Amino acid sequence: MKIDIVIPWVDGADPTLQRERQLFQENKRGGITSTTQLNGEYRYRDSGLLKYLFRSIDRFAPWVNKVFLVTNDQWPEWLDYSNNKLVKIRHKDYIPEKWLPTFSSNPILLNLHRISGLSDQFILFNDDMLINKPVKPQDFFVNSNIVRDLAVYSVIPADDPFSHLLLNNTMMINKYFSKTSLIKQAPFKVFNFKYGKALFRSFLTLPWHAIPGFFNPHTPQPYLKKTFEKVWSLEGEKLSETSAHRFRNPSDLTDWVFRYWQIQSNEFQPRSNHFGQYYEQTMHEEICRDIEKSIHSVICINDTQASEDEAQVADSIINTLEHKFPSKSSFEV
């Protein structure tokens, strides 16, 4: 079983990209809207973690087949593109021309199955994620048709515009599945002690017959390419609408709709909630401690609107990563 990694990356400081964005930017006169918030500057920033992501893959997941770096023709100078495990993918290499250019992550991710040569099993990493200690293929895939994941139901939060997107995903899933169908089919996958405290979320949603939403761990996500193809065959119109949006829009779907589909299709086995950990970039001490002690297998150091004043990851985090990954990876020149 070949397993690839896909990493979308953008350098928001690139003057060419800034000019192109400005050319297509929606008119923001009239104040801050949900669309404005969905496309904040922080969503385009390079936090400086990409180098350490490659080092962590090289050190802790040498079994990976290929690493696909997906960009808008932006290529870090420090990467060694002669490495036969590294594949350069431009947006125009796989996204239909009618939807380009795009400045939204949603079309970039919804169309990943179109990438030529991508394996049937792949793991999607954001550029703010890292592997924190040795991992095995079995940590992500049980076999060629079964992923590792958390089937935890949860009420969708409603305190930010991104919740619109989660609701859109969940509404589509409810067209094809009911919550009780998975519970009846695989009760011990839904109510599994591996989920830890997150399990209480599922218990609290029991009064709802429909699926109210899912708990999203926001860590590297294993995907089956066939899931993308299946959902596109059924909901191509809605997925095309999102793909046509050059900027994030409250009516969008996200790639998590494929994750939800895998869960509701019972194409998963439970994974411990302790496997990964999500942090906001401002949580310096907690992040450094996790990196130093290798507490979780994978971590996310997310750049949020709350960290708007931190253009780069804090020096303390970078220093900790330098201490953990002092040597260049085989992906670096």
Tell me whether residue 209 is in a domain: yes
Query: Which pLDDT belongs to residue 159?
Result: 75
Neighbours of 248 (CB within 10 A): 26
CATH number of the domain enclosing 52: 3.90.550.10
pLDDT tens for each residue of the chain, 333 residues long: 999 999 999 987 788 888 888 888 754 444 444 455 556 555 556 678 999 999 999 999 999 999 999 999 999 999 999 999 999 999 999 999 999 999 999 999 999 999 999 999 999 999 999 999 999 999 999 999 999 999 999 988 877 788 999 999 999 999 999 999 999 999 999 999 999 999 999 999 998 889 999 999 999 999 999 999 999 999 999 999 999 999 999 999 999 999 999 999 999 999 999 999 999 989 999 999 999 999 999 999 997 655 555 556 788 999 999 999 999 999 999
Tell me whether residue 333 is in a domain: no
Tell me whether residue 29 is in a domain: yes
Tell me whether residue 332 is in a domain: no
How far is Cα 275 from Cα 264, in angstroms, rounded to an integer?
21
Q: Is 51 in a helix, a strand, or coil?
A: helix
Query: Which pLDDT belongs to residue 40?
Result: 55
Tell me whether residue 14 is in a domain: yes
Look at the chain and report how many structural domains it folds into.
Answer: 1
Category of 146 on φ-ψ map: left (φ > 0), alpha (ψ -120 to 50) or beta: beta
Query: Which pLDDT belongs to residue 177?
Result: 96
What are the helix (H) ranges across 85-221? Answer: 105-110, 162-176, 179-185, 187-190, 199-204
> Which domain, by its residues, includes 138?
3-324
Query: Could you tell me the pTM of the whole model?
Result: 0.92
Tell me whether residue 278 is in a domain: yes
How far is Cα 29 from Cα 60, in angstroms, rounded to an integer?
48
Tell me whether residue 204 is in a domain: yes
Tell me whether residue 331 is in a domain: no
Positive or negative CA dihedral for 178, 183, 186, 192?
Answer: positive
Query: Which pLDDT belongs to residue 51?
Result: 96
Query: Which pLDDT belongs to residue 25?
Result: 78
